[in-house]
Chain A
Amino acid sequence: MQRQIVNVLGNVTRQVRSNQRAFSVTPKKREIFKVQSSEDFDKKVKNSQEPVIVDFFATWCNPCKLLTPRIETIVGEQAGSIKLAKVDIDEHSELALDYDVGAVPVLMVMQNGKEVQRMVGLQDEDKIRAWVATAVKNAKQ
């Protein structure tokens, strides 16, 4: 049921985009979100039923600026089978350090509260797509 609603929303926003309206819409509000606190992280990432990709980024990091829209698009294509949580490492430094974030951007897949995949640095779309597909496949098993 949730998935159907989400798909309908997705169709609506695709129409919005093709009409070239001048506002931006976050297509899947529940699937892509910015982490607000460590409690928020525990609730929506560690305790999530679906796997979650955590995007550790910084506002001062140019490769991060290029990566985030790419990963958002690719996660959007997964139609709810995987979520995206964005973590600003300056706002949540302890959290980022706890997960051994050094250079950014870092993409990390969390499943059942554990890290299962990690990708460091900006990659091209095909690589990211393949990486996400692996995460989705492993989660289904």
Chain B
Amino acid sequence: MLMFKALRNSRLPRSVLLLRFASSATTTSNCKYDYDLVVLGGGSGGLACAKEAVEYGAHVLCFDFVKPTPAGTKWGVGGTCVNVGCIPKKLMHQASLLGEAVHEAVAYGWNVNDQNIKPDWKKLVKSVQDHIKSVNWVTRVDLRDKKVEYVNSIGRFVDPHTIEYIQKQGERKQLTAKYVVVAVGGRPRYPSIPGATEFGITSDDIFSYEKEPGRTLVVGAGYVGLECACFLKGLGYDPTVMVRSIVLRGFDRQMSEFLAAMMLERGIRFLNTTIPLAVERRADGKLLVKYQNTTTKTDGSDVFDTVLWAIGRKGLTEDLNLGAAGVQTYNDKIIVDHTEATNVPHIFAVGDIIYGRPELTPVAILSGRLLARRLFAGSTQLMDYTDVATTVFTPLEYSCVGMSEEMAIEKMGAENIEVFHAYYKPTEFFIPQKSVRHCYLKAVAEVSGDQKILGLHYIGPVAGEVIQGFAAALKSGLTVKTLLNTVGIHPTTAEEFTRLSITKRSGRDPTPASCCS
């Protein structure tokens, strides 16, 4: 009452009085913010969250900015997947598979000259980049059509509800948001050894690399390193993979070793238990890499045209000034709970920036969408991060969903697990005599009852296509009983899951004798 009288006597114009009266009479949570939602990061997670939020009437702004790599590479809106991840990777994987297909075609009777076929690296890069740029454009049009404001700058916290950014012309601007979603993702790490940033490149650079890669050293044996080494091999270049300890950390051990063996069979060199020490450029322009084998403690060196670091990725928390918002981080990642909320109630995070979740585009997209629905559409559905299927796109691909064998044994005990496994021979491989040595799959299941399936693993052609449907089946509670009563589609490789009969426990030979019976 007193406040009202004071306002009235202040001789302010009526409109201002009304506004001040209204805002003073309500709680701070109803204060007017510039935006309902500000998303930091225009990648898979950020865009999905932003575009979903506008569907429910939210006023949304999205920041996206790409800091150039040490080699100077940069790219447009869309994030890692579109520009320097899944999309160009799959296209180059396809390019390398097509090179193999030319040779197979000869066996099938095609009159092609498959001797000394070479890829035109520049043409491949241009085609890949043209496609990426078209996706960048479609993304911008989509943002515009859906009325998501887009700012090509880094957004930094000034306080928990205020973001500051610098415009292209250099002017500093600020805006306020009711909710903030941090979806800034990550970038490849560089090792702290001499010459790493000056002479080495990463996956950020390889897909637009102006030179032919030539003889390449890939340092790192996660899926990024293995996939890059494999498509480079398929394109006719000469890759070597330097492995610090094991390949594909976090994946099923047996399947990972099979994949490495498959790559060895294809002529990819491995430097096992080896770490790089330094990179120098020689007078002839080639790169001399010094390294040490940590098992034998011997030093070595070799000369390469290109050195590609694939030793892991770091989250991009450093530019956000998270301290001003009070957001807790763990190393370079943001800690969130099961609702993707940080320790600050109105600040959330999705995608590769969050700690301890699978770093995959479809995970970021779904969690971003569900978050938007919880914030603006009254939904209560949480993101389920379990049983996420994934694929490693090596020339024989590896795809899996659910638990690895060792994870199942650890959780349930070896005596409560049954593993069905089989080698198989894809029909199309016979004529060109392609190696089937590593065509293998297994189902990890409970030992009792209908035998609930805990994990499925497959190495072979089009592994992602094979496993996708099974991921839905697993989520629905697939059992061995149902699986073996499912009639297979013939002739496919996926049907081998319905033909599983030999268990590891039995000790019998899982190699198939014949095809159709």
Contact = CB atoms under 8 A, between A and B. Distances in A.
Contacts of B137: 58, 89-90, 104
A102 interface: yes
Contacts of B133: 58-60, 90
A81 B144 CA distance: 35
A93 B151 CA distance: 12
A97 B134 contact: no
Interface string A54-76: 00001111100000000000000
Given A58-B137, A89-B137, A97 B130 contact: no
A37 to B, nearest CB: 13
A101 B141 CA distance: 8
Contacts, number: 25
Nearest to B136: A90
Interface string A86-109: 000110010001000110100000
Contacts of B145: 102
A90 B131 CA distance: 14
A97 B129 contact: no
A20 B144 CA distance: 47
Contacts of A93: 140
A97 B77 CA distance: 15
A67 to B, nearest CB: 16
B141 A102 contact: yes
A43 B350 CA distance: 45
Contacts of B129: 60
Contacts of A61: 130, 134
A101 B129 CA distance: 21
A79 B145 CA distance: 38
Contacts of B76: 90
Nearest to B143: A97
Contact of B140 (A60, A62, A97): A97
Nearest to A97: B144
Nearest to B133: A60
A63 to B, nearest CB: 11
B260 to A, nearest CB: 37
A58 B134 contact: yes
Nearest to A101: B141
Interface in B120-152: 129-131, 133-134, 137, 140-141, 144-145
With most chain B CB atoms within 10 A of its CB, the pick from A60, A61, A89 is A60
A97 B145 CA distance: 9
Interface string B143-182: 0110000000000000000000000000000000000000
B133 to A, nearest CB: 4
Given A89-B137, A90-B137, A60 B144 contact: no
Contacts of B131: 60
Contacts of B130: 59-62
A41 to B, nearest CB: 18
A93 B141 CA distance: 10
A61 B133 CA distance: 9
Contacts of A59: 130, 133
B134 to A, nearest CB: 6
A3 B447 CA distance: 90
Nearest to B134: A60
Contacts of A102: 141, 145
A85 B145 CA distance: 25
With most chain B CB atoms within 10 A of its CB, the pick from A61, A62, A97 is A97
Nearest to B129: A60
A104 B129 CA distance: 17
A58 B135 CA distance: 12
B136 to A, nearest CB: 8
A59 B136 CA distance: 13
A25 B133 CA distance: 30
Interface in A87-141: 89-90, 93, 97, 101-102, 104
B42 to A, nearest CB: 14
B207 to A, nearest CB: 14
Interface in A24-68: 58-62
A70 B129 CA distance: 25
A60 B137 CA distance: 10
A62 B133 CA distance: 12
A44 to B, nearest CB: 23
A25 to B, nearest CB: 28
Contacts of A101: 141
A38 to B, nearest CB: 13
A62 B123 CA distance: 14
Nearest to A104: B137
A59 B140 CA distance: 16
Given A59-B133, A97-B144, A102-B141, 6 more contacts: A60-B131, A60-B134, A61-B134, A90-B133, A90-B137, A104-B137
Which 10 pairs from chain A and chain B are nearest by CB?
A: A60-B130, A60-B133, A102-B141, A97-B144, A60-B134, A93-B140, A58-B137, A89-B137, A61-B134, A97-B140
18 contacts: A58-B133, A58-B134, A58-B137, A59-B130, A59-B133, A60-B130, A60-B133, A61-B130, A62-B130, A89-B137, A90-B76, A93-B140, A97-B140, A97-B141, A97-B144, A101-B141, A102-B145, A104-B137
Interface of A: 58-62, 89-90, 93, 97, 101-102, 104
